[in-house]
Amino acid sequence: MWKLAAAAGCLGLIGLARSQYERKALSVETVEISSDKIQRERTLVFLSDLHDNEFGPDNVRLKKAIDHIHPDGVLSGGDILVSKRRADLRTALSLFSYLTARYPVYCGNGNHESRLAWKRGTYGDLYERYRRALMSMGAVCLEDSSAMLGPDIRITGLDLDARFYKKIFFGKKARMGETYVERKVGRAAKGDVFQILLAHSPLYFSEYARWGADLTLAGHYHGGTIRIPRLGGVMTPQYQFFLPECAGTFRRGEKIMVVSRGLGTHSINIRINNKPQLVVLKLRPQKAAGAAGIGGADGSHNV
């Protein structure tokens, strides 16, 4: 019996050591997307779920990785900070200060940014201070609003209500009515404009696609914490198990959703076979590139 206990203890220590390594092992991964709505090639970087994590002092490795890509824009899908009985803006604002000085930056909210506004009794005016700081740097804050990136790409940020983030366990997810997204953010882009939607939870891809999002960018699930080959992520922060939408690229007809594994953790500080992910989006005109896919010439690499 003691041998089994010792073996289990060793495996646990190995797992913890591996998790500690992976939490700082930044992986840069490219997704290629083509559409006849896109007029010219662009490279965008998608950040999600940093949760105050740092890759080197003051996130120097993350900054260098983004500078190496030299994107046409940086999109933030939210949860860059942590709001859980406390909140500290320093890591998030330091990163955005650096990025806005170099690139156009578009910021959507996750549940942690939104919680600052939902629970003013706990956080006071911290959300307003955070938003004002971002705007003073030149970031575009997409709080149920939209902005254009050139004449052919529209970026919309959807602030989901708190009920869509509640723990699910083995119950049912909160229902999102057919008109919910339009009531929150207005109508999707029409005609020849490529519509990007920043929607932190990937659980409602059908509703996002029905609204008109050509590309939905989501996160929230941290890749499922522990990823098992063929089975995917084990558990989401909402206590769903082996949910396919934990990470990856998904399609519904011509509509696409990219779900980031995120850059950090909180509460459950474990990552196994699940390196933090910096997503690089290669947007190309349909005639210049084939159908949407993962990887492409840039592939993926660790930083």
> Looking at residue 171, which CATH number applies to its domain?
3.60.21.10
Mean pLDDT score of the chain: 89
At residue 12, the pLDDT reads: 44
Q: Is the pLDDT of residue 203 over 50?
A: yes
pTM (2 decimals)? 0.91
Q: Is the pLDDT of residue 302 over 70?
A: no
Q: Is the pLDDT of residue 294 over 60?
A: no
Distance in angstroms (rounded) separating the CA atoms of residues 132 and 164? 26
DSSP string across 249-281: EEEETTEEEEE---S---SS---BS---EEEEE
Share above pLDDT 90 across residues of the chain, in percent, rounded to a whole number: 73
Q: Which of 57, 112, 105 is nearest to 88 (CA)?
A: 112
Q: Which of 221, 243, 255 is nearest to 33 (CA)?
A: 255
> 164 lies in which domain range?
2-302
Backbone angles phi, psi at 243, to 5 degrees: -75, 125
Provide the number of structural domains found in the chain. Answer: 1
Distance in angstroms (rounded) separating the CA atoms of residues 246 and 110? 16
Mean pLDDT, range 174-201, rounded to an integer: 96
At residue 241, the pLDDT reads: 83
What does the pLDDT look like over 92-131, one tens digit per residue?
999 999 999 999 999 999 999 999 999 999 999 999 999 9
At residue 214, the pLDDT reads: 98
What does the pLDDT look like over 7-58, one tens digit per residue?
344 444 344 445 665 778 999 999 999 999 999 999 999 999 999 999 999 9
Helix axis angle for 111-118 and 126-137, nearest 10°, is: 130
